[in-house]
Amino acid sequence: MTRSIVIVGGSMGGLRAAEQLRAAGWAESITVIGTETHLPYNRPPLSKELLENPGTTAEAFEAVKFRHRPSVTDVEWRLGTEVVGADLPNNTLTLDSGETLTYDGLVIATGLRPRRLPLPGPLRGRHVLRTLEDAVELHQELRPGTEVAVIGAGFIGCETAATATKRGCSVTLLEGTSGPMQRALGEELSAGIRDYLVQQGVTYHGHAKVAGLLSNDATIEDESSCTGIILADGTEITADVIIESVGSIPNVEWLEGNDIDISNGVLCDEHLRVVGTRNVVAVGDVARFPDLRNGCGARRIEHWSIPGDTAKIAAKALIADLNGAALPEPAVPLPSFWSNQFDLKIQGVGSPTLATRIVELEGSAKTPHDGVVMGYYQDDALVAVVSVGLPADRQLHYRKLVNDRHSEQPQQDTQLQAI
C-alpha cells in the first residue's frame, strides 16, 4: 500500500519540504495543504517592489510565484483549505470541511501570521502586510499626499515606510522600544539607518507607546475608520492609513491537545523532528530547534533562507524514520537576510542577536549610505556580519568568516569609504 506524507502549510516552507522529500528519495504520495488560494510565492517583495507597483492580484502573483521543480509535478496541492485539528498519536488531521485525513509522515510548515495591536476600535484603515492581497490592497491606499503611520520599525516596518515615502506619502514611523531594526543590527547601525530614513523624508518617533486609536466616529458602525494614533504621552498622530508591523505569531493552534511544546513555535530536535512525536517534523520559522552552530538552546529563526535549510534536514530525517534507517548527521543552517530601503541594500549573514560585542569592520555606522560592515562577536567568535553597500566578493569573504566562526578581528578596511 502506498504511504503518504502530508505537508501542512502551502507557502515557501511547504514547497521546499516537498522538493527536499523528492530529492531525498521519497517516491510515494505527497499532499500539501495550504490556507491561501495561491501556490507558493516569494514574500520579501511584498513590502518593496510589489507594494510599489503590484498590478492586479493575478499580475502580482505572476511576478513573485516560485517555479516548481519537475520532481514535484505529481505533488497534490489542496489550496484554500485549513487544518483545524490534529491527532498526532493516531496520525490524523481534521480539515475545516470536517474531513479527516490520515498520513504516515507529517511536515509542519504553517509559518507565521502578523501580530495585531490589542486595541479597540474599527479595523478600517488598519493594515498588515503578509499576503499578496494585503500588498495589493495597501498599494491602493498609498497615494501621493496620504498620511501614513507605520507602527513598528523592524525590517518590514522600515521597508514599508520607505516604499510609502517613495509613493509620495507623508510617513511617520513609530518604534516602541528602541531604534529601527536595533535588535538585529545593534544600536550604532540602527542609529545610522534612522538618520538616513529621516533624511529621505520619514518622520521618526522612538520609544513611542501606542495607547489608542483615533476614529472618525461614523454614525454607521461599519463605516467607522481609524484616523490616527494616540501615544501614551498624549500625542496624537493623524493618519489616513495605519500599518501594523509589530511582530508575528506562529500558526500552531491546530496542534493543541497533543502534549507537545508549542509555546513558541514547535519544539524540535536537531533533526527537526517534533519532540514528543513519531514521524513528524517541522520546517521554516514555525520550527524551534537547537542552534548547533552557536551552541545555544532551541530557537526560532525568521529569515528567508531558513525554510530551505530546515527542509533539507527535516526531509532526510523523516524518510529515515519512516524507513527505519539510520539518521544522517544534521546539517547546521547559516541564516542570511537582506533588506532594501530607498537606496540602501542591507545584507546579513549569521545571527547578530547572539552577539556580545559589535565592531565596525569597514566604513562607519554613522554614514551607512557610504558603505559599512559591522561584525557581531560572541566572545571572540564572529557569529554574524551585516553590511550596507558591500560588493558581492566582499560579502562572500565575510560569509566564509562567519561560517568558520572566525576569531580574529580584521583591521578596519577603508575601501568602502569611496562607494
Enumerate the CATH 3.30.390.30 domain ranges in the chain, comma separated. 343-418
In tens, the pLDDT along 86-130 reads 999 999 999 999 999 999 999 999 999 999 999 877 778 899 999
| pLDDT score, position 409 | 66
Q: What angle do CA 200, 201, 202 make, to 5 degrees?
A: 105
Total Cβ atoms within 10 A of residue 403: 14
Averaged pLDDT, 39-51: 94
pTM for the model: 0.93
Q: What are the tens digits of pLDDT across the range 155-166?
A: 999 999 999 999
Residue 154: CB atoms within 10 A of its CB come to 20
DSSP state of 173: E
Query: In which band, very low, low, confident or very high, does the pLDDT at 406 lie, cut at 50, 70 and 90?
Result: confident
Residue 419 has pLDDT above 70, yes or no: no
Residue with more model confidence, 301 or 123: 301
CA 384, 389, 392, 393 torsion: positive or negative?
Answer: negative
pLDDT value, residue 217: 67
Look at residue 415 in the predicted model and tell me its pLDDT.
37
Does the domain at residues 343-418 carry the CATH identifier 3.30.390.30?
Answer: yes
Q: What is the DSSP letter of 273?
A: B
pLDDT in tens, 392-401: 778 889 999 9
pLDDT for position 411 = 53
- Looking at per-residue pLDDT, the higher value among 119 and 386 belongs to 386
Classify domain 116-244 by CATH number.
Answer: 3.50.50.60
Q: Is the pLDDT at 416 greater than 90, yes or no? A: no
Give the confidence band of 224 by pLDDT, cuts at 50, 70, 90: confident
pLDDT band for position 223 (cuts 50, 70, 90) = low
Count CB-CB contacts under 10 A for residue 340: 18
Question: Could you give the residue range(s) of every CATH 3.50.50.60 domain in the chain?
Answer: 4-113+248-323, 116-244
- What is the mean pLDDT of the segment spanning 47-61? 92
Residue 417 has pLDDT above 60, yes or no: no
Which CATH number is 4-113+248-323 given? 3.50.50.60
Query: What would the grid cell of residue 405 be?
Result: 566562526
Q: Which residues pair with 154 in a beta bridge?
A: none
pLDDT at 43 over 90: yes
Task: Provide the pLDDT for residue 187.
Answer: 96
Confidence bin at 402 (pLDDT 50/70/90) = very high
- Mean pLDDT, residues 128-154 taken together: 96
Structure confidence at residue 405 (pLDDT):
84
**What is d(CA 266, CA 252) in angstroms, rounded to the nearest whole number?**
7
Tell me the average pLDDT of the chain: 93
pLDDT digits (tens, 9 = 90+) for 241-252: 999 999 999 999
Query: What cell numbers appear for 179 in the block?
Result: 531604534
pLDDT class of 414 with cuts at 50, 70, 90: very low
